[in-house]
Amino acid sequence: MWFRRMVWAILGMILAVGVVPVAQAQADLIAAAKREGKVVVYGSLESDIFDVVAKIFEGKYRVQVEYFRAASNRVLDRVLTEVRAGKPGFDVVLTNKSPMGILKKEGAFGKYTSPSYEDYPAATYDRDGVLSPSYRIVVVSILYNTRLVKAEDAPKTLMELLAPKWKGKIVMPDPTQHTTTAVWLANLEKIMGRDWRPFIEGLAGQVGLVDSFIPAAQKIITGEFPLGITYVKYVHVFGKEGAPLDYVRLNPVLAEAHHVALGAKPVHPNAGKLFIDLFTSRLGLIALSREGEFVLVPGRYPPIKDADKLRIVMMDDLDDQELRRWRDEFGKFFLKR
């Protein structure tokens, strides 16, 4: 009996020393965030998808969320400008791995390890404690308009895009200005091997160029281009509204990681931390998943057919020097008239 009492006493002490302070710290964080009143987030996640998580956050904590949405290179530009000016207007930034890496190097972010990160594999942690683990990935493939291209006629591999029948019928973002497209093209080398260079040169002669992945998807939906290179998630995002979209199950298919980080000098530091806690929590990730995102929750897939069967290969990120080099390299092919 005395032994059992002692065990309970020890457990109680552990709880008192460990859990109670954690709970107290969380309560303090929530109270401080409420006093700050709002959090300002800059990111490249589509507004409608972001709003789903923002509404959960606002409903739960009564802290307002302001969101600046732009393409990843625009987020990079805006954050860099504000940081260099010494007047950052953001508390939290979320975008693709490569621009997040550049911003981290520029000192745009501060250290923050959210309690939510405990649910992620240790291998995904940022060794400097600045970036979150990769909470979601963006999968890039060939999407096509199902009214204009039958599934059996759609290309099965990237090399099939070079067939004469697709000349002028493919749309993709301009890799000289869209970072993720440049990273995607550069990473194809590791899965295409010797075919890579002829593929890049051939593709440049086949495609129409747009600013980013969303306009590419839009042009496929309207039929201006029957097919194109863009995110697989748009099959669900626009498909649920009736858009005639499907995607090619490439094997393997490349994906880029996304991260979130707290600003180095946030105006609302507590609200920023609280937002990151919820955004990267299971609750936030499942909400994102329902909207079509591929999230890092085991066994959880977006409502896209065959999403669970894809063999996904993660892209390596590029630093600013590499991005500049690739931009110039791709410009030789894609901007030549």
**Of 152 and 321, CB closest to another protein:** 321
Q: Give which of 232, 237, 215, 211 is closest to 224, Cα–Cα.
A: 215
Least separation in angstroms between CB 77 and another protein: 5
Do residues 99 and 179 touch, judged by C-beta distance below 8 A? yes
**Of 67 and 120, CB closest to another protein:** 67
Least separation in angstroms between CB 231 and another protein: 11
If you write DSSP's letter for every residue of 141-162 in order, what string do you get? EEEEETTTS-TTTS-SSSGGGG
Dist CA 19 CA 50 (whole Å): 31
User: What is the widest separation between alpha-carbon atoms in the chain?
Assistant: 87
Least separation in angstroms between CB 311 and another protein: 27
Least separation in angstroms between CB 71 and another protein: 6
Give the β-pairing of 294-295 and 136-145. Answer: antiparallel
Least separation in angstroms between CB 43 and another protein: 12
Least separation in angstroms between CB 275 and another protein: 14
Q: Which two tokens stand for residue 252?
A: 């393997």
Annotate 84-112 with three-state secondary structure: HHCCCCCCEEEEEHHHHHHHHHCCCECCC
Residues that bind another protein (CB under 8 A): 40, 46-48, 66-71, 73-74, 76-78, 80-81, 84-87, 89, 98-99, 102, 174, 176-177, 179, 182, 208-212, 214-215, 217-218, 221-225, 234, 237-238, 241-243, 320, 323-324, 327, 335, 337
Least separation in angstroms between CB 237 and another protein: 8
**Of 103 and 278, CB closest to another protein:** 103
Strand partners, 246: 144
Number of neighbours of residue 311 by Cβ within 10 angstroms: 9
How many residues appear in the chain?
Answer: 337
**Of 75 and 296, CB closest to another protein:** 75
**Of 237 and 250, CB closest to another protein:** 237
**Of 126 and 174, CB closest to another protein:** 174
**Of 190 and 324, CB closest to another protein:** 324
The single-letter code of the amino acid at 115 is P
